[in-house]
Chain A
Amino acid sequence: MELDRAAAVLRPRRSWEGVDLGFTLARLWFPTLWLLWWLGILVLALPALALVGGQADWWLVLVWWFKPLYEAPLVFWSSRALFGEPVALRDVGVIFRSAWTRRLLPYLLWRRLSVSRSFNLPIVLLEGLHGTAVRRRRRVLIEGDGTPAWLTLICYHFEAILWGGLLLGLYFLIPAGLPDIDLAAAVTDEQSWPYWLSSACYLLAASVIAPFYICGGFALYIGRRTELEAWDLELAFRQAGSAGSTPRTGTPGRQGRRTGPGRPSTMTLVSTLLIALTVTWPGGGLQAATPATPWPDAAGARAIIAEVLADETFGRTRELTVWVPITGPDEAPTETPPWLRWLGELALLLGPLLKWLLISCAVAAVALLARRILRDWRPETRRRRQRSPVVGAASPATDFHQTPTDLAAAVRARLAAGDARGALALLYRGSIAHLSRCAVAIPEGATEGEVLRLAAYHLNASELAPLRHLTRDWEALAYARRAPDPDQITAHLAAWLRWTDTAAPTPDGADHGA
């Protein structure tokens, strides 16, 4: 294991960032890992198919249970690939022999449902520990971190989402007319062909997620070891030696920039240099190194400082040509005239005044508004406003004339006083009021003819005839000023009394609406 050949930047990361590194690596290695997974599963799935006698549900459970078997080669291959020794797929025998060891057995039996499988597999497969040692090691490495368990849980959901998405996508995309997928059968009826299709979708989803899951757990493991064993510091220390032995040239700024950690090209340059050095150096490398450069004396240091400061990084002289306005001594800025200053002071005085005026205006406006709202919302106003239109519409008999209780007496009194018009008007209004009481709905603004037509629907001929005569006489009086003689009015009154007696024995006048 050579740290400086690592395919990933080793540094301490937050757990979730470690998982992200694993996902990045999985994307990088995806084709290989995917093929490896399928190779592993084919070895098992085909014999299993014969074993369960073509029962889809048992087959799926079996294939699912032995997942660690197909994941182990992925762990092995990733570990080799991370440290720059990728195993070619030609040597698939080597991969499977190294991955399928006896140590994997617990993960196929009682540890199959372990929640941090992808984190534990590298410990078991790569460190080669047994019994209590592996348990203690696992406890040290995991140190109460819940991320491996979360990773397992989330990847299970990813699998389910991909599986459901594939199945639903197929279902949506099959054109009408072709045999449809029965989605209910696809998850429940193990005898149907949709179930087999659904199983295939599940395997496809699992194959896609497996590289990411395994690399995520592996990267968590690597991150934890980087933190515990300071791999990043070891790398930096090794590079410090090689950087320290190069002669000092250029300025510190440039030097720092060139060897900065974020420069991939320099990184590789340094690492290749480092590989060369480690190859040539037999042991500690002390003999092969150049003699030390002692600390320079004061004069030398000053020269170096001057050299450093001479670099344009620390400022330089430039010649610029720009246009500037020519200002002679006579064009000095003039004194502000006194009236302008006075105006300014006045504005300063007026300003607060204006402000308070505006504020008081606003307060007054708010008060007015509040008063208006209060008035509008006071209960009695609301009641009055609600009732008034109803009153106007429903009582044609209400008038500014005080209608007496005994209408007949009032009519007779007017007749005696010689007020034929008043008597007839009173009688007509009494008829209308009585019609309203007889449930004849008279709309507001109805003409006398319309009232008569409406009444015709509700009254029989003997009742309607007097009303018709009354209406004709009233129209003649109202529009042509032809007053009927008092006998006629008395006849109308008698007819009206007869009508109200038959319809409503105790006419109580027209002092209230219908």
Chain B
Amino acid sequence: MFPRSPRLHFLAHDRARPAVAAPRDTVRLNETPEGVDLGLRPAGPTVRALALTIDGGIRLLVYLALTPLAAFAGLGAGMILITSFLLEWCYPVVFEVWTGATPGKRTLGLMVVHDDGTPVGLPASLIRNLLRVIDFLPLFYGVGLVCTLADRDFRRLGDLAAGTLVIHAEDRMARPAALAAHRDTPPRPPPAGLSLTAAQAILAFDERAARLSAARRIELAEILLARFPPAADGQTWPSGPAAVALVAGYASWLTKGR
């Protein structure tokens, strides 16, 4: 259907430099062979630092729980050494391969994936966690921090080597209750030729109207109606609360149909 390779597409976009720079977003688009754009949202250094701190805290708790072992001189020291080895090297790998994220990352809604969006595998996870040693230099992830700040997708050296990304896994924006579940607005057909984005925006407006001030609701509804050409019978578009009601009617129509 769309016989374009993703690379070609992006190259073409780069060459035709637009007059106005494309707006920046925190989404990294991956075009699949089917021509579907998958949006990944790479996570920045702040939230990752917080996740790292939580993981460090969890490991610290395990170490504290192990301190009584020090009473058994030889055996205890050996057990502590083995556990610390396993915790430092296997803790991230096991959790990343098993559940996609360490407990700290999971708490903050982060996830580790390959840079094409597939779940992270054992080799990639091993590489990115082995290079943690380099990222840790010279002091508490100094190299990793600089690398993360400089990279487009907030990748540290381990991520660059392994081809992985740390992304925001889920959209935790509060979603209002199901659309039109308790709607008493009569559906009103929107004007013909409504684009997909406009339809989505009308639905989103209906969802978020309760969070907006009344004046802003009216302003937005009037902005939308002003963009539509006047009706065939010469009737002008309503203004004020009537405009909001009309847009709510469009949303009802888009949800339920006629």
Contacts and interface: CB of A to CB of B under 8 A. Distances in A.
B197 A261 contact: yes
Interface in B33-74: 37, 39, 41-47, 49-50
A20 B44 contact: yes
B108 A16 contact: yes
Interface in A453-469: none
A304 to B, nearest CB: 10
Contacts of A17: 26, 41, 43, 168
Given A20-B43, A162-B142, A259-B195, A227 B211 contact: yes
B216 interface: yes
A19 B47 contact: yes
Interface residues of B, number: 74
B212 interface: yes
B219 to A, nearest CB: 8
Interface residues of A, number: 81
A265 B21 contact: no
A8 B200 contact: no
A268 B142 CA distance: 38
A301 B254 CA distance: 18
B24 A267 contact: no
19 contacts: A14-B168, A16-B43, A16-B109, A17-B168, A21-B24, A21-B26, A24-B26, A154-B46, A164-B140, A169-B142, A172-B138, A240-B198, A240-B201, A241-B226, A242-B227, A256-B195, A269-B18, A289-B229, A295-B189
Given A165-B137, A237-B223, A260-B197, 17 more contacts: A17-B168, A21-B25, A154-B46, A154-B50, A161-B139, A161-B141, A165-B140, A233-B220, A236-B198, A237-B220, A240-B197, A268-B22, A286-B229, A286-B237, A292-B191, A292-B232, A313-B1
Contacts of B231: 292
A239 interface: yes
Best-surrounded residue of A5, A229, A241, A290 (most CB of chain B within 10 A): A241
Interface of B: 1, 13, 16, 18-27, 29, 37, 39, 41-47, 49-50, 108-109, 137-143, 145-146, 149-150, 152, 154, 168, 171-173, 189, 191-198, 200-202, 204-205, 208, 211-212, 216, 220, 223-224, 226-232, 236-237
Majority SS at the chain A contact face: helix
A243 B195 contact: yes
Q: What 10 A-B pairs come out closest when comparing CB atoms? A: A241-B227, A240-B198, A165-B142, A236-B201, A264-B22, A20-B44, A9-B25, A243-B195, A237-B224, A256-B196
A168 B138 contact: yes
